[in-house]
Chain A
Amino acid sequence: MRKAVPAKAGDKQRQNQNGPPGGKAGQPRLYGALTKKRDEDTSTEVGEGVDEWSTSKTVVKPPDQLELTEAELKEEFTRVLTANNPHAPRNIVRYSFKERAYKPISYVDQIAIHFSLNGNMILRDSDEGRRQSLRLSNASEKAPSESSAVVSEEAEIKDEKGTEDTQAAEEEEAEGAEAAEAAEAAEAEEPPPPKVKEKKLANQFNFIERSSRTLDNPLRERASQSEPTPCKNFSANANQWEIYDAYVEELQKMEKSKEKEKPKAQIGKKEEKKRGKKLTSLELQSDDITKISNAAKIMERMVNQNIFDDIAQDFKYFEDASDEYRDHRGTLLPLWKFQYDKTKRLAVTAISWNPKYKDLFAVGYGSYDFMKQSQGMLVLYTMKNPTFPEYVFSSESGIMCLDIHNDHPHLMAVGFYDGNVAIYNFKKATSQPSYKSSAKSGKHTDPVWQVKWQKDDMDNNLNFFSVSSDGRIVSWTLVKNELVHTDVIKLSAEGTTMQGPEGLQLQTVGCGTSFDFHKKIDYLFLVGTEEGKIYKCSKCYSSQFLDVFEAHHMAVDSVSWNPYHLKIFISCSSDWTVKIWDHTIKTPMFIYDLNAAVGDVAWSPYSSTVFAAVTTDGKAHVFDLNINKYEALCTQVVVAKKKNKITHIQFNPVYPVVIIGDERGQVTCLKLSPNLRKMPKEKKGQEVKKGPEVEIAKLDKLLILVREPDGRAQGQADKAPL
C-alpha cells in the first residue's frame, strides 16, 4: 500500500496537467480568452497547498504551445464580455399540453457552460467541517492541524478516479485519504480506520431526493363526466316458509276482496235482472268517491257558474231589444250547448223536461239509421252544469223515446230500438233499468217510437203506454216487481172500419210512430203511423178506431194535443208539412210547408197559438198563429253543419227557452226572443186577462176564420202550396 501511494501521486500530477482542473500550464489553453493575471487568480483560489506542491514539480508544456517573449506576454488584450449568448436561439416554441398549442418561450438560456466543478471545500466552522476535523484527528495523529487546514478532497478525487481507474471503490477511499497526507510529504503509517469508509458525507449541493413524483391527473372537462346511476340496496331472505307465508297471505287477501264483491253483486241481482260484471267493478270504484261527491258537485257547480256566467246572465235577464223594431219577427238566442263525449256518435232521439225540477232534462240517445244501430244512452243534464251530465245510463240497444212521470219525477219510461221498454229510477244508484220488458213479457217486435205515462190505474199501479211500428199499442202496468203488458189496440187492417175504398189500403199493418193522449178525455188518444194516417182511438175499443185522418203522405213524426184547446191537435211529417187539426173535422185547419222533412213539433206551454217545429235542414221554426197565421215568426238555422240534422225540440214548461237535439248528440238550449212570446196587450185600459180561457178564446177566434165552411177554410189556411 505504501509503495503505491507515491505512484498514485504521480499519476495525479499527470492528470492535473492534462485534465481541466489542472495547474497553470493547462489553464491558458482552456480559457484562451483570459489574461494571465486572471490565470493567477484562479490558481490562488484553488488553494495554497495545491500551489505549493505543484510548483515543486517541473512544468510540462504541450508541444504546440507558442513561445512568447516577455513583452508579448505583458501585452494586454481588452475584451468586452456581454451577458448575451450570440448562439442562443431566439424563437424557440414549445408545445403546451395544457393550452394545446405551441407557445413561444420568452426566456432563453443565455448561459453557456463550458466547465463545471463541484466544490470540495467545507467551512471550518460548519458542522460538517467540525465533524470532519474530528474524524481526521482521530484517524491521523500526526498532523491534525494541517489536515484541517487543507480541505480533504475525498469526493473530488473519487470522481476523477472513477473515470480512469477501474479499481475497487474500497481502494479509492483509502487512496483519497492518504493522498492528502502524501501531499504534505508525511507518510501515514496506518491505513485510515474503516469508520471513515462507512461514514459518507452527503454533499449539500448535489443532493437528490429519491422519491418520485406522482402522475398529474389529466384535466377533464365537466361535460364528459356523467352522473352515476342512483343505486339502492336491497336485502331479503328467501326460504320455503317465507314463500309459503307470502302465498297464504295473498290468497287470504284475494278471498277477502271476493267476499266484498259478492254481497254487492247479490243485492244488485235482487234489484235488477241482468247486470254485467263490469258494472259491479265500476260501482266498487265509485265507492271511494261517494264521501266527497256532494262537496265535489257543489264545487263543480260553482266553477261552472263562474265559467258560464255570461250565459246565465243572458238566460235570466237578456231581452233582445231589437225585437221592438223587427215587427213580428223573433229570434232564438243560443245559450248552453250540452255535449257528452260518449254520446258524440249517437243521435238525440228523445228529449224531455223534468216536470218537477225545471232545470233538469233527460236526453235519449240512439240512432235513426237502420244500418248503424249501436248502443243507447240515457243522459240527464241540468242547466246549472252544461259541461257534464248529472246522470248517465247506458243500454245495449238504442233508446228511441222516453217520458218522465209527472207525479214521480224520478221515474222514467224508456222505449228501445229492439222493442223493449224499461223504467229507470234515478233514485237508485245503478246504471241498469229498474224494470225492463223481455221477449217473454210481450215486448214489441219493432222499435218503440213513443212511450207515455198514464194516470195510475184503479189499483194505484203505475202504468204507461207504448207505440211501436209492429202496429201494437201496449199498456204496461207495474205490478209489484214486474211489467205486465196489455195490448190496447192493434193497428191491423181487419180491425179498422174504414169507409169506402180506402179500407182496402189499410190491409197492411199500420206502423205506429207517435201518439198522444187527450188532456181531458181520458180514453181518447191519437196515433200517427208510418203511412201518414192518424187514428183517433179509444182505450176502450181494442178493435176499432174512432176515426181516421188521411193526414200526410209520409210517416207522421209527431202528434200533439193543444195544451189549452181540447179539440185541437198538431201533427208533423216527413212530407215537409205541419198540420193543425180539429179532431172533429177530417180536414186540417192549417197547413204549413217547411221545405224539409219535419222532425218534431211542439206546442208552447205558455200560449195556445205558439208552436215550434224543427226540420232536417237544421232549422227551427217558431209560429204564433195569433200574430201571423201564414208564416213562421222565426226561422233560424240552429245547427251549422251540413250533415247534421235537428231531431227534436221541447219547450221548457216555465222558462222561455227551448232545447233542441241533433243527430250529433248535441243538445242546444235557446232562448225565445220577446216577440216569440208576446201576450195579447193590444186592448188599452182593459185588464189583460190570463188563463186557459183566454188562450182557448184566442185560438177559437182564429179557428172561426177557417172553420166555416170547410172548403173555404182550407183554402184560406193553405197558404203554402202542397
Chain B
Amino acid sequence: MADTGEGKKEEADYKRLHSFPLIRHTDMPEEMRVEAMELCVTACEKYATNNESAAKMIKEMMDKKFGSSWHVVIGEGFGFEITHEVKNLLYMFFGGSLAVCVWKCS
C-alpha cells in the first residue's frame, strides 16, 4: 500500500514538474516563438482531451497570425519527416506527455 502511495505521489510530482512547455527544436524568431508557444499551451490546455481540436485551433490561429499554410501535429507518439519553410518550425513538448509540431509549408 505504501508503495503504491509513493508511486502515486511520484507520478503526481512528475506531472507537476513536467507541466511546463519545453521547446525541443525551433528556428523561429524570438517573438514568433513566444507567441506560437503560448498558443500551443493555450490550445492544449483548452482541449486537454481532444488533440484534434487543439491542433485545429493552433493551425487556424497560426494561419491568421502568420499567413496561411500552417500544419500542426499533436500527439503522444509519432514520427515525422517534414519539409518546412525556414524560420517557421516549432517542435515542443508540453504537459509531460504531449509532443507538438507546428510548421509552415505552402
Give chain A's interface residues, CB within 8 Å of chain B.
229-240, 243-244, 246-247, 250-251
Contacts and interface: CB of A to CB of B under 8 A. Distances in A.
B94 to A, nearest CB: 9
Contacts of B78: 237-239
B40 to A, nearest CB: 14
B33 to A, nearest CB: 15
A232 B96 contact: no
A250 B84 CA distance: 26
A238 B83 contact: no
A231 B93 contact: no
A251 B17 contact: yes
B45 interface: no
A243 B80 CA distance: 15
A62 B84 CA distance: 87
Contacts of A233: 81-84
Contacts of B82: 233-235
A230 B89 CA distance: 13
B79 A238 contact: yes
14 contacts: A229-B86, A231-B85, A232-B27, A233-B83, A234-B81, A234-B82, A234-B91, A235-B82, A237-B79, A238-B77, A238-B80, A238-B93, A246-B24, A247-B18
Interface stretch (B1-9, B50-58, B98-106): B98-106
B85 A230 contact: yes
A236 B77 CA distance: 11
Contacts of A231: 83-86, 105
B25 interface: yes
A246 B22 contact: yes
B31 interface: no
A240 B97 contact: yes
A234 B76 CA distance: 18
A250 B17 CA distance: 11
Nearest to B81: A235
Main secondary structure of the interface of A (DSSP, over half): mixed
Report the interface size class on chain B: 20 to 34
A515 to B, nearest CB: 56
B16 to A, nearest CB: 11
Nearest to A237: B79
Given A232-B85, A243-B96, 15 more contacts: A229-B86, A232-B84, A233-B84, A234-B84, A234-B89, A234-B103, A235-B79, A235-B81, A235-B82, A236-B25, A237-B80, A238-B76, A240-B76, A240-B77, A247-B17
A239 B22 contact: no
Q: Which of B75, B84, B103 has the most CB of A within 10 A?
A: B84
Nearest to B73: A238
Given A230-B85, A232-B84, A239 B77 contact: yes
B81 A243 contact: no
A32 to B, nearest CB: 74
A243 B74 CA distance: 13
A238 B17 contact: no
A243 B17 contact: no
Contacts of A244: 18, 96
A237 B77 CA distance: 8
A234 B91 CA distance: 10
Nearest to B77: A239
A243 B79 contact: no
A661 to B, nearest CB: 42
The 5 closest A-B pairs by CB, nearest first: A238-B99, A235-B81, A239-B77, A237-B79, A247-B18
A244 B27 CA distance: 23
A621 B18 CA distance: 70
A236 B93 CA distance: 12
